[in-house]
Amino acid sequence: MARRDRIAAGSAFVAAAAAAFVLPDWMISLATIALANGLVVLGLIVMWRAGLVSFGQALYYCMGGYAVALLGRWAGVTDAFLLVLVGGLSAAVVSFLVGFLLARYREIFFAMLSLALSMILYGLLVKTESLGSTDGLNVIVPTFLGYAPHREKLLVALYLLVVVVCAAAALLTHAYFRSLAGALAIPVRDNEIRVEFLGMSVSRLIHTKLVISGMLAGIGGALAALAVGHVDPNMSYWTTSGEFVFITILAGAGSVGAAFVGSLAFESVRSFAFAMLPQLWQMLLGSVLLLTILFLPQGLGSLIKRLHWGRGAKAP
Amino acid sequence: MSVLSAFAVLIDGLVYAAYLFIVAIGLTLIFGVMKILNVAHGSFFTFGAYGAASAVGIYFNRGLPDAGGYLLMVLFAMALGLVLGLILERGIMRWVYGRDEVVMVLVTYAAFLILEDVVILVWGPGSYATYQPLLAAGNIEIGELVVSNYDLGLIAAAAVLAAIYYWALKFTRYGRLLTAVIFDRETAAAFGINVRVVYTVTFVIGAMLGALGGAIMAPKIAVTLGIGVEVIVLAFAVVAIGGMGSIEGALAGALIVGICRAATVHLVPQVELFVIYAVMALVLMIRPYGLFVRAQPRKI
Amino acid sequence: MLFGGSARGRACCWLVLFVSWLGVVPTQAQNAPSGGTVKLGIVSFLTGPAAAPFGIPGRNGAEIMIEAMNAGKVPAPFNKPGFGGSTIEAKYIDETGSTANVVTEFRNLVQRDQVDAVVGYVSSGSCLAVTPVAEELRALTVLYDCGTPRIFEEKPRSYVFRVSPHATMDNVAAARYLLAKKSDVTSYSGINQNYAWGQDSWRDFTAAMQVLAPNVAVDKVLFPKLFAGEYGAEISTLLTSKSQVLHTSFYDGDLEAFIYQGQARALDKRMTIIATTGEAAIWRLRDKMPSGTIVGARGPHGPLAPDSEFNRWFQKIYSDRYSIPPTYPAYQMAMSLLGLKLAYEKAKTEKDKTGEAKPTTDEVAAAFKGIEFEGPSGSVKLAIGDGHQGISETAYGTYRFNKEKNEPEIVDIVRFPAECVNPPAGVKADDWIKGGMKGAKC
């Protein structure tokens, strides 16, 4: 990793961690949820580099969340690290199984099939009264390797956990992008058949990416469940997936940090819209996003340049 | 299952299929020609429904003949669709042509969010009831079953629409132009077809069809906020099943989903919630591009 | 690569982020309340399909009630201006969005805007999510509409209150009314939305019917999707059923659509419909609501409210402002605010005889516990849920459209005392019904 980038990453991490002790409580809680969502967006970026957009990440997000809720409720597990790990793993298992089916599809049909699967989970959860149906379940208060904080300390602890997990995920994903499998994403997006002729298995590559993004979404869902304290089937609804895709486009799929920055920006804008225009916040959100797409391409612009003309795609 | 139940399933299936078809046809047209998955289609539906509500509200309370009410409702909604389609296409869409497919989808999503709140600004957050056309049509009894004439009219309307569409696409000059553009935009442009104009016209027709769907459904449902959201997903599912850009596909998809859903409600009501998604997943597993798909040349 | 391909891209990213946070911070600065005012956060659906039937009437009820309170115009014993002299300031927030949004906005209200209390929430999902956060933040919260009994059954609460009775009594009373008026019923069917509200309503109704009339059979059990809007197949199924009665907990939009579609196919001629939340729709459906429909209002609200000075006063101020009579969400909001006001003033009087100092949240919570009062919906007492959950009587009636007066009316009203249709303290609602509704005093 270039030295400049290393300094930037390091200072961002320190700043984020330090912010926990400076910012007011409501900002910390907002940032926690935003960063957890940023993990899902990171997963979407992994897939988008290969040309796939999934409208069904909510499936894994929801799985991660419910895994945490159920583990806490039925097995009494409260350790946050364990809960998040299990959340991520359960989502990874599901994405591994689902991947056998999904890896065969591309473009819009990939999007639609992934959407269909997440809506099937939604339907199943709504039908199941023992899981609370649409009322959902409350999540237990987490502990951290024996340390059991309350109130403000809990908030800060959760926030720091999320920051650490996001940093780890960012580093690992960045390393993945620099590996062969990660670097092959762009050739796969451009022309799969040539990649096949080169001797690589495209479907195996895509399957791997599906599992990675599924796991990231599951971890994000688990963290969000702990932060919000409640899970419900709406986590699997297509509008949730749509939001994640939106943030991805906003952030631009070119870089790892953009996932978290974009997510923070989106949550802030939404909160702002809610506070300013209680009945017209959708319009504000839609306008901001439209204007961003039209006039402030930023990540969008550099992404599109790379997509269509392959220019500016320097090695990371 | 008794004969009457089977008949009920058939009728219900056809009614639901008619609803889905009218809604999906505009979406599949826009996708076929412009390769844009138009999320704002839900907004066209919503505006059509609210427009019909306003028209019905003005008309039916004056004691004028019923038939005029139906016509007014449809025309008013389609006019709204026309205006809205034009504004959207000329105002927003044309700035983003040529960009990534997903970016286009998100532009339409942004437009959808904005339009949802425009509805609140124009019509307020309350819900509207436009039941007069539904009740005025009466009903007929078939054994124990009572079928509303409005529903039968819906089936007829969908059939007529399908027929017009098919004829227009196959036998008019413009229809053949459209087919050419659907097949291969570049070659069509090379042949001198003004693709930009075709885009605008297509988008506007799609908008009008969406609005028509809303207008026709308005008397049956409560016209309230959020009807657009439900409709989008249904339309997407039907189009995905049938194959994007294919009119026969939309018809087939609508029929399959309609009859499956009707059968589920009568026989196994518990799974009704996700039958449409299950059907979509199943179809896509067997035919990855939908039922009626055009052969795509492979790029090496 | 880590932060964007171009310096310009990166800069733009940070600019957007910074500007949006900048927009949020000033609102915080402006929102620190002064000593002489009480700040309330009012949360209900302002957008989306639940806005028109529940969220907006709730919001309007709050607005009109707060205005009347600040002007000191509410009938005694609520005639002190504001809350014990302090002017009430209200901030209205939309309940729409995912649970994460709802919880975030709740935290924003409490921590960023520093409201003294939050009154709101229509969706049971929101209530369940917000309750632990309210307890954690020690924020006084009054839930006004959501129906799930789980709030106070899962755990004892200190800062969360609900003046409105929960949804169990709606369906128990429906069963009792049905059997009182139509004792010859042999079979019933149900059509409820396939989500928690519909599932819970159906479960409570069938369980109550099972206890009160075990010989009556259940025929068709339909659970269409929430906001499906189109019920052709369901109506066909019901037309082929032999039931005399149909139970539904559908509300406004879906209820209207179902009624119209049912009327178009003469369903109402075959079956009597029990609409547990039907009251909210009668002013819109008017002559289209079939006469003979059994109608509930989630409690003694609207035309089912006991006739009193207070009720008439509330109906007048509401209809004068909003040109439509208040429906039950407006009543529920009004009762919730009255309860809060009473608790506040009680705490204030106990704390400081001169009536100047502001009571703390703990003091108000202590005063709120077990409170009892009379409002436009009659009397309510916070008797269960360890003094946090209200119970009141309820009423059901039969709908008629009065052609001479050209007005909807509800006749044949039967009132059920609170202890008849609510579980006793310490017993879970579900268990109580299944156990035969022991201790019911009817």
**Distance from the B150 Cα atom to the nearest Cα atom in chain C, whole angstroms:** 9
Q: Is the pLDDT of residue A314 over 60?
A: no
Beta bridge partners of C116: none
**Segment A150-192, tens digit of pLDDT:** 777 888 889 999 999 999 999 999 899 888 888 888 888 888 8
Highest mean pLDDT among A27-31, A123-127, B101-105, C157-161 belongs to C157-161
Put simply, the answer to whether C1 touches A133 (Cβ < 8 Å) is no
Among A301-310, B6-15, B22-31, C334-343, the range scoring the smallest mean pLDDT is: A301-310
Least CB-CB distance to C49: which of B135, B137, B226?
B226
Q: Can you spell out the DSSP letters for C260-274?
A: HHHHHTTHHHH-EEE
Put simply, the answer to whether C1 touches A255 (Cβ < 8 Å) is yes
Residues 6+ apart with CB under 8 A from A80: A142, A143, A144, A157, A158, A161, A226
What Å distances lie between residue A184 and A92, A179, A204, CA to CA? 21, 9, 12
CB pairs under 8 A between B and C: 132
Put simply, the answer to whether C13 touches A265 (Cβ < 8 Å) is yes
Cβ within 8 Å of B, A 232-261: 238-239, 242, 245-246, 249
**Distance from the B77 Cα atom to the nearest Cα atom in chain A, whole angstroms:** 23
Name the 3-class secondary structure at A102.
Answer: helix
Q: Is A128 on the interface with B (CB under 8 A)?
A: no
Q: Domain spans of chain B?
A: 22-226
Task: Output the six-digit token pair for B279.
Answer: 């059907």
Q: Is C49 on the interface with B (CB under 8 A)?
A: yes
A313 — pLDDT class (breaks 50, 70, 90) = very low
pLDDT of residue C5: 45
**Segment C200-257, tens digit of pLDDT:** 899 999 999 999 999 999 998 998 888 877 888 889 889 888 899 999 999 877 888 8
Task: Output the six-digit token pair for A157.
Answer: 């602890």
Task: Output the six-digit token pair for C129.
Answer: 């999510």
Least CB-CB distance to C2: which of A234, A255, A278?
A255
What Å distances lie between residue B165 and A308, B171, B175, B179, B250, CA to CA? 35, 10, 9, 12, 12
Q: Is B275 on the interface with C (CB under 8 A)?
A: no
Q: Is B219 on the interface with C (CB under 8 A)?
A: yes
* Mean pLDDT estimate for chain C: 86
**Segment C129-138, tens digit of pLDDT:** 999 999 989 9
Q: Which pTM does this prediction carry? A: 0.85
Among A190-204, C1-15, C30-44, C274-288, the range scoring the smallest mean pLDDT is: C1-15
Q: Tell me which chain B residues have a C-beta less than 8 angstroms from the C-beta of A239.
A: 229
Is there a contact between B106 and A249 (Cβ–Cβ < 8 Å)?
A: yes
pLDDT of residue B73: 85
Put simply, the answer to whether B106 touches A109 (Cβ < 8 Å) is no
This model of the complex carries an ipTM of 0.82
Q: Is the pLDDT of residue C35 over 70?
A: no
Q: Is the pLDDT of residue A43 over 90?
A: yes
**Distance from the B56 Cα atom to the nearest Cα atom in chain C, whole angstroms:** 15
A310 — pLDDT class (breaks 50, 70, 90) = very low
Among A301-305, B91-95, C269-273, C342-346, the range scoring the smallest mean pLDDT is: A301-305
**Segment C200-216, tens digit of pLDDT:** 899 999 999 999 999 99
> Which chains sit next to B, with 3 or more Cβ pairs under 8 A?
A, C
Q: How many whole angstroms separate alpha carbon A234 and alpha carbon A225?
A: 12
The whole-number average pLDDT for the span C9-29 is: 48
**Distance from the C83 Cα atom to the nearest Cα atom in chain B, whole angstroms:** 31
Put simply, the answer to whether C132 touches A229 (Cβ < 8 Å) is yes
**Segment C108-133, tens digit of pLDDT:** 899 888 999 999 999 988 999 999 99
Q: Is C253 on the interface with B (CB under 8 A)?
A: yes
The whole-number average pLDDT for the span A218-233 is: 93
Q: Tell me which chain B residues have a C-beta less than 8 angstroms from the C-beta of A120.
A: 274, 277-278, 281
**Distance from the C254 Cα atom to the nearest Cα atom in chain B, whole angstroms:** 7
Strand A230-231 and strand A137-138: pairing?
A: antiparallel
Share of chain C above pLDDT 90, in %: 41
Q: Tell me which chain A residues have a C-beta less than 8 angstroms from the C-beta of C3.
A: 5, 8-9, 12, 255, 257-258, 261
Q: Tell me which chain A residues have a C-beta less than 8 angstroms from the C-beta of B261.
A: none
pLDDT of residue C8: 45
pLDDT of residue C34: 45
> Which residue in C has a C-alpha nearest to residue B272's C-alpha?
C224
Tens-binned pLDDT, residue by residue, of chain B (300 aa): 678 888 888 988 998 899 889 889 889 888 888 888 888 999 999 999 999 888 888 777 776 777 777 888 888 888 999 999 999 988 888 888 877 777 788 888 889 989 988 988 898 877 787 887 887 778 888 777 888 888 888 899 899 989 998 888 888 888 888 888 877 778 888 888 888 888 899 899 999 999 998 998 888 887 887 788 878 888 888 888 888 777 888 899 999 988 988 888 888 877 777 788 888 888 888 887 778 776 666 655
Q: Tell me which chain A residues have a C-beta less than 8 angstroms from the C-beta of C112.
A: 24, 26-27
Q: Tell me which chain B residues have a C-beta less than 8 angstroms from the C-beta of A113.
A: 280-281, 284
Least CB-CB distance to C232: which of B125, B151, B222?
B151
Q: Within a 10 A sphere around the Cβ of B270, how many other Cβ atoms?
A: 10
The whole-number average pLDDT for the span A28-42 is: 92
Q: Is the pLDDT of residue A299 over 80?
A: no
**Distance from the B242 Cα atom to the nearest Cα atom in chain C, whole angstroms:** 22
Q: Tell me which chain B residues have a C-beta less than 8 angstroms from the C-beta of C48.
A: 225-226
The whole-number average pLDDT for the span C277-287 is: 83
Q: How many whole angstroms separate alpha carbon B276 and alpha carbon B297?
A: 31
Among A84-88, A248-252, C188-192, the range scoring the smallest mean pLDDT is: A248-252
